Amino acid sequence: MILHELLSFELLRVIWWLLLGVLLIGFALTDGFDMGVGAMLPFVGKTDVERRIAINTIGPVWEGNQVWFILGGGAIFAAWPPLYAVSFSGFYLAMFVILAALILRPVAFKYRSKRDSQAWRNGWDWALFIGGAVPALLFGVAVGNVLLGVPFYLTDDLMPMYDGAFYMKFLGLLRPFAIVAGVVSFSMLLMHGAAWLSLKAEGPVAERARRIGTVAGIVAAAGYAICGVWLAFGIEGFRIVGDVVTDGPSNPLMSEVARDASWLQAYSDRPWIIIAPIMGFVGIAMAVLGLRAGREVSTLLWSKLGITGIISSVGLTMFPFILPSTVKPDSSLTVWDSSSSHLTLFVMLVMTVIFMPLILFYTAWVYKVLWGKVTEEDVTSESGHAY
């Protein structure tokens, strides 16, 4: 209990905000290349063998990578209950579409090779395309909507309500800025998938992936720059008015929030956060150069750096806001007023300290065992271990 007292409520809130970011970045870095490979599958493989090579680069690892997505959802539910309630109720149709697309992946992996029919296999290849492209796009659209603000408010008893029924529809999320953010997400993960195929495949599959990844990286960098300019001149940000209570009760209605600032004001208040967008641009640029030059390990690492920078820049720019409200800014959810209790955050942190290293160790061990390229011989042999 001494440690519990040393870790203040304020510190635990910041730690869990950081951990949520780590989980989301971990998901993008791992399952991101799975989605990228799926999204380019019909285009990097011209024959059944070539497509099987691409599939088998991610086949042994995609299930483990997707665990990061589950951990992220669990962390939101346990550490930030109001965020879970508001976001999942407002984005429920988009989440349904994402989950439906993700469900296609395991089905496609298992059923694709059940028949020798080319039409049958082509159909499942396009299912893998949907399972990769749709989540990659919609995750970015969701982030774009968070930056724009969401039209919800909290009643006096903290019940989340949405203003206007149309927003609850799927098309209500497709606002211009959110679409550009979706394009950034999609192209970024496409580049990441190309970097993975450059490392794990060879021959025509790797060459086509490099060409696609180069274009995707350029699009991602351009879209990211457009989003930055848009945020600076076309979108109002949010700020807490008056004294900020960092260790108070988890009640968003106790904060006074105004929408009269730029999100990029954060870079004046905390200049050091400029490192995040720098990482984003440098990582993407070096990954594109690596793809063009045919480099492998370094290209994947630069791609990871770029993704880390882009995702980090969103969280650091918005801090301490997690989900701002356009209808009633005082209902906006922040790090300081929408967390679980002090004790809950502490117990969860103890469990994380115990189990997270085990997860990371096991993941590293799996990738070490599976190190090496997937060749045509691997997928055409009669060993029965390939998809």
Tens-binned pLDDT, residue by residue, of the chain (387 aa): 566 667 889 999 999 999 999 999 999 999 999 999 999 999 999 999 999 999 999 988 888 888 888 888 888 888 999 998 888 877 888 888 899 999 999 899 889 888 888 899 999 999 999 999 999 999 999 999 999 998 888 888 888 888 765 455 566 778 899 999 999 999 999 999 999 999 999 899 999 999 999 999 999 999 999 999 999 888 888 998 878 888 888 888 888 888 888 899 999 999 999 999 999 999 999 999 999 998 999 999 999 999 999 999 999 999 999 999 988 999 999 999 999 999 999 999 999 999 889 888 888 888 888 888 888 887 777 665 667
Question: Do 196 and 36 contact (CB within 8 A), yes or no?
Answer: yes
Residue-wise pLDDT tens digits, 202-222:
899 999 999 999 999 999 999
Residue-wise pLDDT tens digits, 151-206:
888 888 888 888 765 455 566 778 899 999 999 999 999 999 999 999 999 899 99
* pTM of the model as a whole: 0.92
Q: Provide the pLDDT for residue 384.
A: 59
Q: Provide the pLDDT for residue 1.
A: 56
Cα–Cα distance list, 180 to 102, 128, 249 (Å): 22, 23, 37
* Residue-by-residue DSSP string for 228-272: HHHHHHT-EEEEEES---SSS-S-GGGSEEEEEEEGGGHHHH-GG
Q: Provide the pLDDT for residue 382.
A: 67
Q: Provide the pLDDT for residue 11.
A: 93
Q: Provide the pLDDT for residue 6.
A: 75
Q: Provide the pLDDT for residue 4.
A: 61
Q: Provide the pLDDT for residue 385.
A: 64
Q: Provide the pLDDT for residue 137.
A: 95
Report the relative pairing of strands 236-241 and 256-262 from DSSP bridges: antiparallel
Residues in CB range of 210: below 8 A, 6 or more apart: 194, 198, 291, 292, 294
Domain boundaries, the chain: 2-371
Cα–Cα distance list, 360 to 195, 271, 286, 345 (Å): 22, 32, 26, 21
Q: Provide the pLDDT for residue 146.
A: 92
Q: Tokens 């002090």 sit at which residue?
A: 342
Distance CA(133)–CA(348), nearest Å, equals: 33
User: Nearest Cα to 36, choosing from 217, 190, 199?
Assistant: 190
Residues in CB range of 281: below 8 A, 6 or more apart: 221, 224, 225, 306, 309
Q: Provide the pLDDT for residue 165.
A: 54
